[in-house]
Amino acid sequence: MVPFPINYPIVLLAGVISMAVGFVWYSKIFFGPTWSTLMGMTDKTLKEAQAKMGPMYGLSFLGALVMAYVLALLVNYMGAADFLSGVTVGFWAWLGFVMPVQLTGEIFSSKPFNVKLLAINTGYQLTSLLLMGAVLARWV
């Protein structure tokens, strides 16, 4: 495989975009209240969890950076060089890798299968990958 040049500041930006999408997606304005209800969280458990979120956000950001880096490799490998082709690569990465993993996780969860919870969680990942793909294709 031919090594591709990677624009690391843009990979970092893509990771930040993923986190920003997550903060908005799971906020009280969008899907946060529905998600926390579907997860069985109360106001008390949610506040307790939020107090411990620092390290979790750090790990989540690390995961977002890994995803952005690998997506940059895919974008380069696929020759995506504009907004639409980057979105397309992001979509196929979601459909082929993220959605099946999240579907399997939901199917084998200790809780009953919940299509709303699956839609919220995979919707975030889809939105994140579409935006990251667009940015990476344009500037990587």
Q: What is the pLDDT of residues 30-61, one digit of tens each?
A: 999 999 999 988 888 877 877 788 889 999 99
Q: What is the largest CA-CA distance in the chain?
A: 52
The whole domain housing 38 covers 8-139
CA 120 to chain centre: 11
Structure confidence at residue 2 as a pLDDT band (50, 70, 90): low
Residue 32, domain member (yes or no)? yes
* pLDDT, position 61: 97
Residue found under tokens 């930040």: 16
* pLDDT, position 44: 83
Residue 1, domain member (yes or no)? no
Tokens representing 135? Answer: 């940015």
Residue 120, domain member (yes or no)? yes
Residue 52, domain member (yes or no)? yes
Q: How many domains does the chain have?
A: 1
Query: How confident is the model over 70-129, as pLDDT tens digits?
Result: 999 999 999 999 999 999 999 999 999 999 999 999 999 888 899 999 999 999 999 999
Structure confidence at residue 22 as a pLDDT band (50, 70, 90): very high
Residue found under tokens 């839609």: 119
